[in-house]
Amino acid sequence: MNDVDGDLSLLRERLLNWLMKDALPIWWDVGADKAGGGFHEALDHAGQPVVADRRARVQARQIFTYAVARDLGWAGPSQQAMQHGLDYFLGRYRRPDGFFSNGLAVDGKPFPVAPYLYEQAFALLAMATAHGAKKQAPELVPIANQLHERLLAERRGQAGGFTGFVDDAVYQSDPHMHLFEAAMAWEEVSSDPHWARLADEVAELCLARFITRDRGILLEYFDATWAPAAGAMGALVWPGHQFEWAGLLERWALKRGREDVRKVARRLYRIGADHGIDTTRGVALFELTDEMAVNDSKARLWAQAEWLKAAIILARSEKDEAVRQAYVADAAAGARSLLRFFEMPVAGLWRDKLTGEGTWIDEPAPASSFYHIIDSLRVLAAWQAGPVK
């Protein structure tokens, strides 16, 4: 084993030890609402639950988290935690029309707005991961199929893709990214070809509209024709999403035999790595402009996880040894960055935002981050096992 691989192996051991011994236990023991059901939105720095509205995405992400914990062989009650989340999520968030509400207010009433595409994507991802390769939750299949049918019937955009955003006039690539992720997750556990068709549709939309033709940059905000949104919003670039899309497109391209798309994935990764890393702080930045100028110098935890994950995914399928080692070195840098966010008084919690000046924003640990953390560590756990499926 060379020095680069050895460095990452040590970081892998530290991160997985933190996950299994600290994070998974506290977010079940304290982060789950054993009396009322579901999971809390956040834990404060003393490790106590924060009373707040409960977004659907958080419930779905915690279901995903404990389903992955089950698959990783966590010694704790992963199945119980996953089922605890599913019972609450399906019982309280699923609507009669097959969509899922965006969230519940503190008083338990659903948010009075139309269901967002983002929430539906995470509902699908949670159900696919809970069902798993061993098909352990067959009751989720018809629920997921109904949601898929409703999206196709009611949420088609005239220029492709799907509707359902916070602002109906501003279309987003981000929810489509998670829908792409969910479709591929279902493709892994179901023989129904409609999941592969959905994954293909979103991938082709991304390649045609989300990524600029001239420089290969993944943008965030668009109008209804999938042209970049007007003004400054249409020029925003999130390094974390360059990484996240890079990993997803690499996985899809390997399945479909698309070497052209593998090149796109590597271009996205390079944009994130070359322009979106603050080498002084050693962290992935939150936001750039399409001219590669820093627009928001904060560092968010999720972007560090996606940096680590994408570097591993690309390393695992890279045949050129020098290039592979460069990805492994990047993964080690991402892992070290992630560990900084875990330095908390109560083990198993995390910080979410580091300012450009290098100070932490004082706020509770958001449960929503666990999805990014455990998905990156799932990839890291198997990083020498060949290409990621």
Q: Is position 198 within any domain?
A: yes
Cross-strand bridge partners of residue 211: 218
What pLDDT does 75 receive? 98
CATH assignment of the domain containing 294: 1.50.10.10
Residue 10: is its pLDDT beyond 80?
A: yes
pLDDT band at 388 (very low <50, low <70, confident <90, very high): confident
**The pLDDT value given to residue 85:** 98
At 283, which helix (H) or strand (E)? Answer: strand 283-284
- pLDDT, residue 389, reads 73
pLDDT at position 288 is 98
The token pair that represents 203 in the structure block:
């991938």
The whole-number pLDDT of residue 137 equals: 92
Amino acid occupying residue 308: L
Instruction: Estimate the share of the chain in helix, then strand, then coil, as percent rounded to the nearest 5.
Output: 55, 10, 35
pTM of the predicted structure, to 2 decimals: 0.97
Domain that holds residue 105: 3-381
With H, G, I as helix, E, B as strand and everything else as coil, classify residue 34: coil
Residue 191 domain-assigned? yes
- Does residue 388 form part of some domain? no
Res 336 pLDDT > 80? yes
Write down the pLDDT at residue 4. 85
Question: pLDDT averaged over the chain?
Answer: 97
The Cα–Cα gap between 177 and 198 comes to: 12
- pLDDT value of position 386: 73
Quick one: pLDDT at residue 18?
98
Q: What is the pLDDT of residues 257-285, one digit of tens each?
A: 999 999 999 999 999 999 999 999 999 99
Q: What is the mean pLDDT of residues 224-233?
A: 97
- Whether 232 is in a domain gets the answer yes
In a domain, 241, yes or no: yes
Rounded Cα gap, residues 88 and 104, in angstroms:
11
Please report the pLDDT score of residue 244 as a whole number.
Answer: 98
pLDDT band at 357 (very low <50, low <70, confident <90, very high): very high
Output the pLDDT for position 1: 65
Q: Does residue 11 belong to any structural domain of this protein?
A: yes
Band (pLDDT 50/70/90 cuts) for residue 387 is: confident
pLDDT of residue 229: 98
Those residues with Cβ within 8 angstroms of residue 130's Cβ, 6 or more apart along the chain or in another chain: 63, 64, 67, 82, 86, 136, 137, 140
Report yes or no on 389 lying in a domain. no
Q: Which amino acid is at 119?
A: E
How many domains does one find in the chain?
1
Residue with tokens 């935890």: 301
Residue 140 lies in a domain: yes
Distance CA 342, CA 350 (A): 5
Q: What is the mean pLDDT of residues 355-364?
A: 97
With pLDDT > 70 as the criterion, what percentage of the chain qualifies? 100
**% of the chain with per-residue pLDDT over 90:** 96
Give the pLDDT score at 166: 95
Residue 344 banded pLDDT, cuts 50, 70, 90? very high
| Predicted pLDDT of residue 262 | 98
Residue 75: helix, strand or coil by DSSP? coil
**pLDDT band per the 50, 70, 90 thresholds, residue 145:** very high
Residue 287 confidence (pLDDT): 98
